[in-house]
Amino acid sequence: MSGKLYLCATPIGNLGDVSSRCLEVLGAVDLIAAEDTRRTLQLLNHFEISKPLTSYHEHNKHEKGGYIISLLQNGKNVALVSDAGTPAISDPGEDLVRLCIENEIEVTSVPGPVAGINALILSGLPTKRFAFEGFLSVNKRHRKEHLDAVKNDTHTLIFYEAPHKLKNTVSDMQKAFGGDRKIALVRELTKLHEEVKRCTLDEAAAFYEENNPRGEYVIIVEGAAEADIPAENEWDGISIREHVEKYIAEGLSSKDAVKKAAADRNLPKRDVYNEYHRGE
Ligand code: SAM
C-alpha cells in the first residue's frame, strides 16, 4: 500500500506559529522533503525533531519528484515543507501534488501560515473577493501583460515580491493601475519589524524613490472601481482613426489621444499613430 504525502505549512517568521499537528506529522513521517533544507533543519532542531531530509526545489523538482513518488509507492510517508508558509503556494509543491494525483497517491494538508492571506487581512482592503497573482515575471513584457490583464479586475489583488524588485514593481503598478489606486505594502509578517504601509500607488512610488525596501513583502492592491472600467470594448465597432478623433473631440491633444487609444487597445503607440495619419 502507498504512503501519504503531507503538505505541512511552517512559520513565515515566528516559530511560535507552527501547529502541534505539524510537529506531530514531521516527527512521524519517514522523510521530509524541504525547499530549503538548512531553513527546515533550524525548525527541526528547535523542536528537537530528528528526521531524514531531502531537498525538493525548483531546480531539482523533476528528478526529485520521481524519487519521492517511488518512496511513496513503497509505502513511505513523506512531509513536504516550503522554505516558509504553505507548500504549493508560489513554490514547486504544486508539481509534486500533481504527480501524486497522477500516481493515485493520497495527499493531505496540515494547514498553517500563508503570507498572502495574512497580508490581505491586515491590508484594510476588501477581503470579500480577491485573487492571488503570485510573483510578476522578471521579463518586462510579461510583467506588463500580467498587469494589463488584471487592471480592470474589481476584486482585491495579492502579489508577492522580492525586496530588490519592489521599487520597479510599484512603479509598473502605478503606470498600469493609475496613481490613485490604494495599496498596502505588508512586510516582515509575524516578525519583529512587521509593518503595513497603507497608501496610494503615487504615495508608495514617491516613498520608495527615497527609501530602500527591506525584508519580505506582500503587495495588496485595491480592485478597479466600476466607474473607471471602460465600457466593454466600446471601441470594437469604431476604427482606430475614429477612436483617436473621439478623444480629440473630448479635448485631448492629438498626441494624448493617440496615447490613450493605444492604451485602450493594448497596441504600441507607433501603430496607432501610423494608422491615424495613414492616407493624410
Ligand atoms: N509558500 C509561501 C506562503 O505560503 O506564503 C510563499 C513562498 S514565496 C517563495 C516567498 C514570498 O512570500 C516572499 O517573496 C514574500 O513575497 C512572501 N513572504 C513570505 N514570508 C513573508 C513574510 N514574513 N512577510 C511578508 N511576505 C512574506
pLDDT tens digit sequence for 40-64: 999 999 999 999 999 999 999 999 9
Tell me the C-alpha distance between 146 and 264, whole Å.
15
- Which triple of cell numbers denotes residue 134? 503570485
Q: For the chain, which ranges sit under pLDDT 50?
A: none
pLDDT score, position 234: 76
Q: Which atom of ligand 1 is nearest to the CA of 35?
A: 9
Q: How far, in Å, is the centroid of ligand 1 from the Cα of 268? A: 35
Q: Which atom of ligand 1 is nearest to the CA of 160?
A: 16
Residue 95 one-letter amino acid: D
pLDDT score, position 231: 67
Pocket of ligand 1 (CB under 6 A): 12-13, 82, 84-86, 89-91, 114-116, 160-162, 186-191, 216-218
Q: How far, in Å, is the centroid of ligand 1 from the Cα of 44? A: 20
pTM exceeds cut of 0.95: no
Residues in contact with 133: Cβ distance below 8 Å, sequence separation at least 6, in sequence order: 146, 150, 157, 158, 159
Residues in contact with 119: Cβ distance below 8 Å, sequence separation at least 6, in sequence order: 158, 184, 186, 189, 196, 218, 220
Residue 263's φ and ψ, nearest 5 degrees, are: -65, -45
Q: Which atom of ligand 1 is nearest to the CA of 91?
A: 9
Q: How far, in Å, is the centroid of ligand 1 from the Cα of 216? A: 7
pLDDT score, position 266: 84
Q: Which of the listed residues 218, 219, 220 should we mutate to test ligand 1's pocket, taking the one with most ligand atoms within 8 A of CB?
A: 218
Q: Which of the listed residues 40, 122, 217 should we mutate to test ligand 1's pocket, taking the one with most ligand atoms within 8 A of CB?
A: 217
Q: Which atom of ligand 1 is nearest to the CA of 119?
A: 25
Cα angle 277, 278, 280 (rounded to 5 degrees) comes to 70
pLDDT score, position 226: 80
Q: Which atom of ligand 1 is nearest to the CA of 115?
A: 5
Residue 279 is classified by DSSP as: T
Residue 97 one-letter amino acid: V
